[in-house]
A and B are shown apart, each in its own frame.
Chain A
Amino acid sequence: MDDPIAVLIQNTATQDRAAFRELYSASSAKLMGVLLRILGQRAEAEDALQEVFTRVWLKAGRYDASKGRGMTWLIALSRNLAIDRLRQRSDHVSDDDAMAAHADPAPRAETRMIATGEARRINDCFATLEPDRAEALRGAYLTGLSYTDLATKFDVPLNTMRTWLRRSLLRLKECMGS
C-alpha cells in the first residue's frame, strides 16, 4: 500500500506500541500545525495533540483504508477535536484577536510545490464561487470559523451567510463530480 501512515494506523489498531510511536513521529508536526491554526494557543494545541493521539490509539480499529488516506483520517480527527474545543470556550476571544492568532506562517515552499498538483482540482472549483464566499469557506475549514463568526466578519446577517454558503457547497460538490 502506498500510504505508510495508513499502515501505521492499522498496526496501531493491533496494539502495536512501536507502530504507535512511529505514527507520532511521522504525523505530529502536521497535526500540531492543524491544532495550532484552529486553537491559536501553543499550550492548548499541545494538550489537544495528546488528546488526539489518545483517541487515535482507542479508535485506530475504525480506520478504513478503502475510504481515504491515513493522514486525511488523522487530520479529520484533529480538526473535529479542535473545533469542538473552540466552540466550548466560554470566554470567547474577540474576532480580531482570533484572526490575529490564526495568522500563522504559510506552508513551506517545498510543501507548496508538492501541493500544487493535488490541490488544483479543489482550487479550480473554489474559483467558480464568488470570491468572498470561497474565502469564507476556506477560512471556516482551515481555522474553524462558524456561521456566526463569518457573519460578523463579513458583516452580513447570519441567515444570509448560511444561505450563501449552503448554495456554494452544493456548487462545490457538483464541480468536484459529487
Chain B
Amino acid sequence: MSDLPTITPEFELDLLAAEYVIGLLGLEERMSVETRLREGGDLAERVAEWEHRLSDLNDDYAEVPVQNLMPQIEARLFPAALVVKRNLLSNLWAWGSAAAAAVALVAYLALTPAAPSYTAILTADAGNLKYEAVITQDKLTLTRVSGTTADASHSYELWVIAGDNPPVSLGVIPGDAESITRPGLAAGQTLAITLEPLGGSPTGKPTGPVVAKGQLIAA
C-alpha cells in the first residue's frame, strides 16, 4: 500500500527468504524452499543475509544444560561406534529417546548368542537398485550390488522392521562406502532402505519412499 514499494520478483524472493528464516511458512512452503536452497543461487544468498541480519535475536535463547549425547551421535555417524558396550546399556534405556532405544535394540540383538548366518537381498520395486545384506556372527555387512547411491542432497537410511513393530533406524548408509558393518539381527525381520534428507530422517521415522527392501533368511 502507500508505504509498500512495488513488489518486484526480486522483492518477492527476498521476502520469501525472510519468511523462511523467521519460520512463518507452513510445511509445504518450507519443503519447497529447502529444495530450492539445495541448488544454491540467489535464494540461498538471501537466506544467509537474513540469518545474519536477525542473528542478534539469538541472544534471547537461554542456555539449557544437557547431558552428553555424543555417544549416541557418534553411534549414528560412525558404524564402529555402534557396537554398544554392556555398561552403557542401562544409561541408554534411562535416556529413553527413540535413538537410544534403537541403539539399545541393536545392542540387545548383538548380545544374543552367536547366531547362524542370515542373508537378505534388498531390491527395488522399480529400477535396478540392489543391496545384499550378510550377517555373520554379530555383524551385518551391507553391500551395494547394483544401482546408484543417493544424490548429494539425500541419504539412504537403513531400517529394520520386526513383525508389526514400527521401523527402527539402523543409521544412514555412508554414500562413499560400498559396505558398512552393523551388529547382527534375526531371521524373519525385514530390512528396508528409504530415501531421506541429507543426514537421515529428521523425525526418527521414515519420511521418504522405500527404495529397496528384503527379508532376512537363514543362509
| Chain A interface residues toward B at CB < 8 A | 17, 21, 24, 28-30, 32-34, 36-37, 43, 46-47, 49-51, 53-55, 57-59, 67-69, 71-73, 75-76, 79-81, 83-85, 87-88, 104-108, 111-112, 114-115, 118-119, 121-123, 137-138, 140-142, 144-148, 150, 165-167, 169-173, 176
Taking the nearest CB of chain A, how far is it from the CB of B49, in angstroms? 8
Binary per-residue interface labels of chain B (71-101) against chain A in the complex, 1 for a CB within 8 Å, 0 otherwise: 0111011000000000000000001111100
Residues of A within 8 A of B11 (CB): 170
Residues of B within 8 A of A147 (CB): 24-26
A34 touching B22, Cβ below 8 Å: no
B64 touching A29, Cβ below 8 Å: yes
Residue B127 interfacial (CB < 8 Å): no
Indicate the size class of the contact surface on chain B.
Answer: 35 or more
Residues of B within 8 A of A50 (CB): 69, 72-73, 76, 97, 99
Residues of A within 8 A of B155 (CB): 58
A55 touching B198, Cβ below 8 Å: yes
A104 touching B59, Cβ below 8 Å: no
A72–B51 CA distance with the chains assembled, in angstroms: 7
A148–B24 CA distance with the chains assembled, in angstroms: 8
A51 touching B202, Cβ below 8 Å: yes
A71–B61 CA distance with the chains assembled, in angstroms: 12
